[in-house]
Chain A
Amino acid sequence: MIRVQAEAFDVGAEIAAFTRGTGRVGAVATFTGLVRDYLGDRPEGAPPVRAMTLEHYPGMTERQLERIEAEARSRWDLADVLVIHRVGRMEPGEPIVLVCTASAHRAAALDSCAFLIDWLKTQAPFWKREETPDGDRWVEARASDDDAAKRWNQCS
């Protein structure tokens, strides 16, 4: 299931609801992404990020996330998938993204969870804008994210 929402979400409650067992599921893997107060290691004296605004492309975002979920389900035998991604303004420490995968065994759950977040970072149309005391700035894409996605041999 894919959810794109402006509202904050409770990571613990979401994982608890996702984990509620069917008996067939032996493994649940989760990834939670949080808003940081600086991209990378904050140099001495550099201003912290006060907040971040997530912009997206309504329609294409959901479409891409559904594709990513379908791709994960085609590669691994998954009992369930949940991706929640927030949009709008949020402050450091708040959850921005949650990926949960459920499978019979741990390897499929762990690998598909890593795949989903790696793919999401390069294939879903979201853009981060940081607010700092020195003004706002758009966050630049990182080559390391492209490298992380490439290890899954993405073909799109």
Chain B
Amino acid sequence: MKVLYFAWVRDFVGTGQETVEPPAEVATVGDLMGWLAQRSPGHARAFADPAVVRCAVDQDFAGAEAPIAGVSEVAFFPPVTGG
């Protein structure tokens, strides 16, 4: 599964993209955030407060309860500030 990071989430994690293979018990976006947080101190900082991190699954906005089985791309980023 491809994981993308944007804005300050990327700054903390230290990379904009990585490929991961979470175990089967990591079933939702929320699970994935908790699992990714253990990968490095930077990941831990990025996901320190999961409530402020937004997510897209295969380029659609998704909540923490969204399932991730079979998806190819998950992205994490702060609330958007365009316009």
Which residues of A are in contact with B by a Cβ distance under 8 Å?
A: 33, 54-57, 59-60, 63, 85, 96-97, 117, 120-129, 138-141, 145, 156
* Number of chain B residues whose Cβ lies closer than 8 Å to a Cβ of chain A: 16
Confirm or deny: B19 has a beta carbon within 8 angstroms of a beta carbon on chain A: no
Residues of A within 8 A of B82 (CB): 54, 56, 85, 97, 120-121, 124-128
Inter-chain contact A57/B83, CB cutoff 8 Å = no
9 smallest A-B Cβ distances: which pairs? A126-B82, A141-B79, A127-B7, A121-B83, A60-B59, A139-B81, A128-B81, A138-B8, A124-B82
Confirm or deny: B4 has a beta carbon within 8 angstroms of a beta carbon on chain A: yes
Given A63-B59, A127-B7, A57 and B77 contact (CB-CB distance below 8 Å): yes
Confirm or deny: B30 has a beta carbon within 8 angstroms of a beta carbon on chain A: no
Sample (16) of A-B pairs whose CB atoms are under 8 Å apart: A55-B7, A57-B6, A57-B77, A85-B82, A121-B83, A122-B80, A125-B56, A126-B80, A126-B81, A127-B6, A127-B77, A127-B82, A128-B81, A138-B8, A140-B79, A141-B79
Interface-central residue, B4, B8, B83, by most chain A CB under 10 Å: B83
Inter-chain contact A125/B78, CB cutoff 8 Å = no
Given A57-B4, A57-B56, A125 and B83 contact (CB-CB distance below 8 Å): no
Residues of B within 8 A of A126 (CB): 80-83
Which residues of B are in contact with A by a Cβ distance under 8 Å?
A: 4, 6-8, 56, 59-61, 75, 77-83
Apart from A121-B80, A126-B82, what 15 extra A-B contacts exist at CB < 8 Å? A33-B83, A57-B75, A60-B59, A60-B60, A121-B83, A123-B61, A124-B82, A124-B83, A125-B80, A125-B82, A126-B80, A126-B81, A126-B83, A127-B81, A139-B81
Inter-chain contact A97/B83, CB cutoff 8 Å = yes
B71 to chain A, nearest CB (A): 14
Inter-chain contact B75/A141, CB cutoff 8 Å = no
